[in-house]
Structure 1
Amino acid sequence: MSKAPLVPSLSNSRSSELMSPELYSLWAQSDRYHNSFLLKPDPILDAVQEHTKARGVDYEIAVSPAQGKFMNLLLLSIGAKRVLEVGSLGGYSAIWMARALPEDGEVVALELEELHAKVIEENINSAGLSNKVRVVVGRALPSLQAMPDSEPKFDFVFIDADKESNVDYFIQAKRLTRKGGIIMVDNVGRRGRLVDPENTESSVEGTRALLRYIKDDKDVEATTIHTVGEKGFDGFLYAFLK
């Protein structure tokens, strides 16, 4: 007798339902409702988003305000001092994280694009955080590989770059993060596409490869938190270094 597949294929109707404008609208409204109570008005971050948009950077793919606040609170809760960000876009998430650090703390932000790096520096300066954020321009993997083990280890690493290189980034992040530190990898939910065996998008395959790698990694404990909100249906992977 044949067995049902462990991972069912998404039907076209089910996939369309997950993508429906009605659900996205509801999720976005719910995000805004909660944020109206839990996030204070922030003219600096509003200006950062406007400036990023005006400079031609796709600010809409940055983390949501709720996720930015979550990372800020997480860093405060662990007393983080050194943070590494792989893929910084316009600096929005870097600002959220830098605000949680002590005066002698540092966010090292890796960014491939020259334009993005300039926008990050402009936004960081306008936020008054240039003393806490250092931008490294260039391909992320060589930049990571060039970082010596002898440097003070990072307390937290946020990986939000090309998904195809997630495993390589994660391996380097482990090397550079202290025991008891945290690595967060963004955009691993991918609207549920990972469970569709017929989906071979490179970003989906890169995320699957990361999950397979972590499954056999005895140095970490990890989980995925799925999210819905103004960014749609997605999620992030949270890994603790033992």
Structure 2
Amino acid sequence: MTSFGPALWEAVDAYVGGHLVPPDPALDGALAASEAAGLPAVHVAPNQGKLLMLLARMMGARHILEVGTLGGYSTLWLAKALPADGRLVTLEYEPHHAEVARANIAAAGFSDRVDLRVGPARDSLAALEAEGADPFDFVFIDADKPSNVAYLEAALRLSRVGTVIVADNVVREGAVIDGANADPRVKGVRATYEWLAREPRVDATALQTVGEKGYDGFALALVIA
């Protein structure tokens, strides 16, 4: 038995993936293309991507919002949850990341249902509000952590009762419990919890995760009012 720690976490992720996350040329190709393009390897793990897909599929999501596209790996998982007439809007700040993601989305055959918008996410979210976009059924937030609260507030305005909002990287290897930590990402995550705790229109919890992406976690919120 491997000693407890990252090596064991990665081995268990590989075991889970080997049984429950079969190879997918589009998804595997997106990872390879992202690596070749020099994108940071901060995408969700395969089992986490499938979890997002299953959550969206369980609730019958037809309209999905993603904040933080990177190379489009999680985008593809979410797009797989949509019916043929569904729609996914994904927001990416970095033009190079967006270029890679757009190619990955096209290669997977999802260009017809994915709307990739490039620029500061706050601006893109404001534009969606101004357009009078239909409420989103499922929202995935995986972008710059200092802006999490702004993204949550915008997501709530773009939601309906029953919408599910998931935020990634909310444990930060345990640093989230350190109130003296000056890292803006940690401070942004702590603000996320404070917002979720005081916002009466959502009911939320969080789960710690370990695996090939290290020690972190997901926050999950249900819009209730």
TM class by shorter chain equals over 0.9
1:82 matches 2:63: yes
1:133-152 CA distances to partner (integer Å, 9 max, x unpaired)? 11000000111112127321
1:113 matches 2:94: yes
Q: How does 1:1-242 map onto structure 2 within 5 Å?
A: 23-58=5-40, 60-148=41-129, 150-242=132-224
Report the TM-score when normalising by structure 2: 0.95
Kindly state the Cα deviation for residue 205 of structure 1 after the two structures are TM-superposed: 0.5
Report the TM-score when normalising by structure 1: 0.89
User: Where do 5+ consecutive residues of structure 2 fail to align?
Assistant: none
Task: State, as a whole percentage, how many aligned pairs show the same letter.
Answer: 45
Q: Which amino acid aligns with 1:241?
A: V
What SS does the corresponding residue of 1:146 show, helix, strand or coil? Answer: helix
RMSD: 1.2
Range with bigger deviation, 189-198 or 152-161: 189-198
Kindly state the Cα deviation for residue 155 of structure 1 after the two structures are TM-superposed: 0.3
Q: Which amino acid aligns with 2:45?
A: S
CA distance in 2, matches of 1:214, 1:122: 35
Residues 22 and 79 of structure 1: is their aligned pair in 2 closer, same or farther, counting only changes over 3 Å?
A: same
What SS does the corresponding residue of 2:134 show, helix, strand or coil? Answer: coil
1:26-66 CA distances to partner (integer Å, 9 max, x unpaired)? 100011011111111212211111111111212x2001100
1:102-134 CA distances to partner (integer Å, 9 max, x unpaired)? 111111010001111111110001111111111
Kindly state the Cα deviation for residue 210 of structure 1 after the two structures are TM-superposed: 1.3
Q: Which amino acid aligns with 2:150?
A: D
Q: Is the 8 A contact 2:204 2:222 kept in 1?
A: yes
Q: Alignment length, in residue pairs?
A: 221
What SS does the corresponding residue of 1:131 show, helix, strand or coil? Answer: coil
Q: Is the 8 A contact 2:169 2:217 kept in 1?
A: yes
CA distance in 1, matches of 2:10, 2:138: 28
Kindly state the Cα deviation for residue 209 of structure 1 after the two structures are TM-superposed: 0.9
What SS does the corresponding residue of 1:224 show, helix, strand or coil? Answer: strand
What SS does the corresponding residue of 1:155 show, helix, strand or coil? Answer: strand
